[in-house]
Chain A
Amino acid sequence: KQEVTQIPAALSVPEGENLVLNCSFTDSAIYNLQWFRQDPGKGLTSLLLIQSSQREQTSGRLNASLDKSSGRSTLYIAASQPGDSATYLCAVPSGGYNKLIFGAGTRLAVHP
């Protein structure tokens, strides 16, 4: 059974720091991995989708990497800003039909 783990569970950093969020999964037979952002009381916003054939995907200050063989993905946030404060979730498909298994998330606080 696929399990997804995110470390750390919470992170508090000063503005301007570069930071790394980690996601690990137990079954490496995935065809993609998706990172989401969730603001309090809101829905999930898709940040990046990495296909299994890719090793990295970039969007603005965000860079996500995927290493299937080791069962790991990282989300790198450059020059963090207070507006980046949110919970970040990773998810992988499992069992067909793009059904997603989610990690518990990393709650990020960026303070001025």
Chain B
Amino acid sequence: DAGITQSPRHKVTETGTPVTLRCHQTENHRYMYWYRQDPGHGLRLIHYSYGVKDTDKGEVSDGYSVSRSKTEDFLLTLESATSSQTSVYFCAISSEDRGNTEAFFGQGTRLTVV
């Protein structure tokens, strides 16, 4: 298994509170991603990073921010959680090598906003 660790694995939080999810990798891959998975919508990209301090928005970025201060860590922050952000969040990594771009996923964080 690729070395990807997400924390926490489960979290319940109240509407309006800030929440930070962490993704840690030991593969030294340059690219990192945050996806959310929802019934009826499948997996959708929130934000991604193509290097330290280099990040950009994905398809569903509203209400989320990210930071990457080290190669191995990619943080996803919900500044003020809403019920619509109740979801399962997955971190993923991949190499920038075009010949070997296999993506690997973490085990997910189940977030419930009440």
Contact = CB atoms under 8 A, between A and B. Distances in A.
Interface of B, secondary structure class, is strand
B69 interface: no
B70 interface: no
Interface string B36-60: 0000001101001010000010100
A44 B105 contact: yes
Contacts of A93: 101
Interface in A13-51: 31-32, 34, 36, 42-46, 49, 51
Contacts, number: 54
A42 B96 CA distance: 26
B43 A32 contact: no
B90 A44 contact: yes
A61 interface: no
Interface stretch (A63-71, A73-81, A95-103): A95-103
A98 B105 contact: no
A43 B99 CA distance: 24
Contact of B106 (A36, A43, A49, A89): A43
Contacts of A103: 42
Interface residues on B, range: 20 to 34
A108 interface: no
B90 A43 contact: yes
Tell me whether chain A's interface is mostly helix, strand or loop, or mixed: strand
A97 B48 contact: yes
A34 B100 CA distance: 11
Contacts of A44: 90, 92, 105
25 contacts: A31-B98, A34-B102, A34-B103, A36-B105, A43-B90, A43-B106, A43-B107, A43-B108, A44-B92, A46-B102, A46-B104, A46-B105, A89-B42, A89-B43, A98-B96, A98-B101, A99-B48, A99-B58, A100-B33, A100-B35, A100-B43, A100-B92, A102-B43, A103-B42, A105-B42
* 3 A-B pairs with least C-beta separation: A44-B105, A43-B107, A102-B43
B74 interface: no
